[in-house]
A and B are shown apart, each in its own frame.
Chain A
Amino acid sequence: MNDSIMNGKARISDIIIKILIYISAGFSVILLIGIIGYVFIKGIGSVNFSFLTTVTSTLKKTVGIAGNIVNTLYIIVITLLIATPVGIGSAIYLNEYAKPGKLVRAIEFTTETLSGIPSIIFGLFGMVFFGNVMGFGYSILTGSLTLTIMVLPLITRNTQEALKTVPDSYRSGALGMGATKWYMIRTILLPSAMPGIITGVILAIGRIVGESAALLFTAGSGYLLPKSGMGFLTKIMESGGTLTIQLYLSMAKAEYSTAFGIAVVLLIIVLFINFLTKYLAKKFDVSKVD
């Protein structure tokens, strides 16, 4: 640099760059306010009681997303029922049992890879493997199994980070008192790591709620409510489109008021999940992993 720091020229370029920095940072904020504002203004009119509690009927000429809300809940519950224990188990193995070596590296590399694979690839794989090979077809089960693989890294990594923050003295203390390893994990480690695990699960819920590409060709686009009684069980094997899928389909059919109505519902869920993770992070003071 030939410029002296006293040179007025350098100061001007500093100011320009500073302005650019502020503009860039402001962009994100304005963008967010714009998105939320626009969606609410356009969509809040379509959200009312019957929109949330009935299903679309061409006969009665009414629009409703109750079926999609139920489908979303089904997929969240089934996915988490499988992914949470597997993710936690995997984290426990990596943190408590495994010795550093090729195997651990392979598991960590594949976990990283899984979190980098785009959802459309998961969708193709789920369609072929769970849909065709396993024979589940377009169903809520196929969609849930596909999403299980997708959210697995999220739960594994959050649990792992949480386990890492548990002091080693807890472990040696428990083992020294004669507890077996499994007993120690069950009664000491898991309760201490619970805030991290819960954060991982909530982040996974957020991911599932917003997911669309992985579900389009796995869970399909059914929008009806389950029939009562056994219908609640058989629904698992039927096609069921989530809120995001219905949004996409409405948008493709140019039914924009329905699309914006769903967008409002989705944004409210996303905002709620965001505040919930923030609240938990503050309450338990766990360093959050992304």
Chain B
Amino acid sequence: MENQQTFSIIGNRRNKSAVEKAAQGIFTLCAFIAILAVVSITVYMVINGTPALFSVGIKEILLGTSWKPTAAEPSYGILYVILTSIVGTTLAVLLGVPIGLLTAVFLAETAPKKLAAVVKPAVELLAGIPSVIYGLLGLMILNPLMYKLELALFKDSETHQFTGGANLLSAVIVLAIMILPTVINISESAIRAVPASLKSASLALGASEIQTIFKVIIPAAKSGIITAIVLGVGRAIGEAMAITLVSGSSVNMPLPFNSVRFLTTAIVAEMGYASGVHRQVLFTIGLVLFVFIMIINISLTGILKKGDKNHE
């Protein structure tokens, strides 16, 4: 009986069309899960992040500089936390992007094949290393070095609070390293996508290889490189576990040798024991981070769209 069915192409048409419909329905449902997930994440971040804004006050939270959530008279100012994330991310990008871009130039343009075959897998592996391992190494290698530097720099200072090396600068270096693979990979494909004719034209006009790369190829790959930078910003601002212990444990103004809290590390460090309003404010911090990320995502879609149009 089983065999007979496969012989007829019209035998079970009704049965088949039911299976067809079910299959299509299930696939459509699967595709909707992405939309559902983003909508529910947005809704839950807003629901949980806004109550504190009303109970404590928007100005007190967003513009307050004193973070004493567990004091007898608690205060919940997160301005320094926000500023730390902005300053930390900016510095990490300023440090990481030049190195990443030059590495991308190396891989796409100047590298001998044999060397590229070493650098490329190394970059891929760096991307795969878990963030806690970066954190562990930052804590064990970077912080002691920073502490030595700190002792030397602030030897005579009477106001400086010593951090043991867990400061903004350590976190920035860890973040800069962590965004490297993203910046390198995306910039490399952007540089590779530049038409060879542009390069040959420039070389034929007598420009040197380096002049061609920096005056012709990189400007032509601009939108891809901007995408790389924006993705790097997103990666840096969202990183939590690698810098939680490296960046110190108190909320301070984001100065290089201060112990600081980022948006992400404030949540990681305090969510475990927070309750009541304190917990609500931590969710507000999460909401602020979420807003930053959505701005980055939306501007990214804008850049990609513009890039597409330019290519057409």
Contact = CB atoms under 8 A, between A and B. Distances in A.
A26 to B, nearest CB: 8
Contacts of A217: 271-272
Contacts of B238: 117-121
B103 A28 contact: yes
A266 B107 contact: no
A31 B264 CA distance: 25
A285 interface: no
A91 to B, nearest CB: 8
Contacts of B44: 125, 128-129
Contact of A21 (B40, B105, B244, B290): B105
Contact of B293 (A117, A244, A273): A117
Among B240, B283, B300, the one with the most A-chain Cβ atoms within 10 Å of its Cβ is: B240
A110 B106 contact: no
Nearest to A273: B128
Among A120, A156, A178, A270, the one with the most B-chain Cβ atoms within 10 Å of its Cβ is: A120
Interface string B223-248: 00000000100100111110011000
A125 B40 contact: yes
B268 A35 contact: no
Contacts of B300: 112, 116
B286 interface: yes
Contacts of B99: 24, 27
Contacts of B140: 42, 256
Contacts of A119: 238, 240
Interface stretch (B61-69, B72-80, B206-214, B253-261): B206-214
A33 to B, nearest CB: 8
A85 B41 contact: no
Interface in B18-38: 19-20, 23-24, 26-35, 37-38
Interface in A10-26: 10-11, 13-14, 17-18, 20-26
Given A28-B184, A182-B23, A251 B122 contact: no
Contact of A247 (B16, B41, B121, B132): B132
A212 B267 contact: no
B129 interface: yes
Interface residues of B, number: 90
Contacts of A109: 301
B208 A116 contact: no
B33 A181 contact: no
Given A97-B27, A120-B268, A263-B133, A114 B37 contact: yes
B125 A270 contact: yes
B123 A28 contact: yes
Interface string A87-100: 11110111011100
Interface string B139-175: 1110000000000000000000000000000000000
Among A21, A26, A35, A94, the one with the most B-chain Cβ atoms within 10 Å of its Cβ is: A21
Contact of A124 (B20, B45, B130): B45
A137 to B, nearest CB: 15
A97 B126 CA distance: 38
Contacts of B126: 28, 31-32, 35
Interface string A177-212: 010111001000000000000000000001001111
Interface of A: 1, 5, 10-11, 13-14, 17-18, 20-29, 31-32, 35, 38-39, 42, 85-90, 92-94, 96-98, 106-107, 109-114, 116-122, 124-125, 127-129, 149, 152-153, 156, 178, 180-182, 185, 206, 209-213, 216-217, 244, 247-248, 251-252, 256, 259-260, 263, 266-267, 270-271, 273-274, 278, 290
17 contacts: A28-B122, A88-B30, A90-B30, A90-B31, A97-B27, A106-B35, A107-B32, A110-B38, A116-B231, A116-B297, A152-B34, A185-B23, A244-B241, A247-B136, A263-B133, A270-B129, A271-B125
Given A121-B293, A213-B268, 4 more contacts: A14-B210, A21-B102, A97-B28, A217-B271
Interface of B: 9, 16, 19-20, 23-24, 26-35, 37-38, 40-41, 44-45, 48, 98-100, 102-103, 105-107, 110-111, 115, 118-119, 121-126, 128-133, 135-137, 139-141, 177, 180, 184-185, 206-211, 214-215, 231, 234, 237-241, 244-245, 264, 267-268, 271-272, 283, 286, 289-290, 293-294, 296-297, 300-301
Query: Sorted from nearest, which 4 A-B pairs have the closest CB atoms?
Result: A118-B238, A89-B30, A210-B130, A24-B102
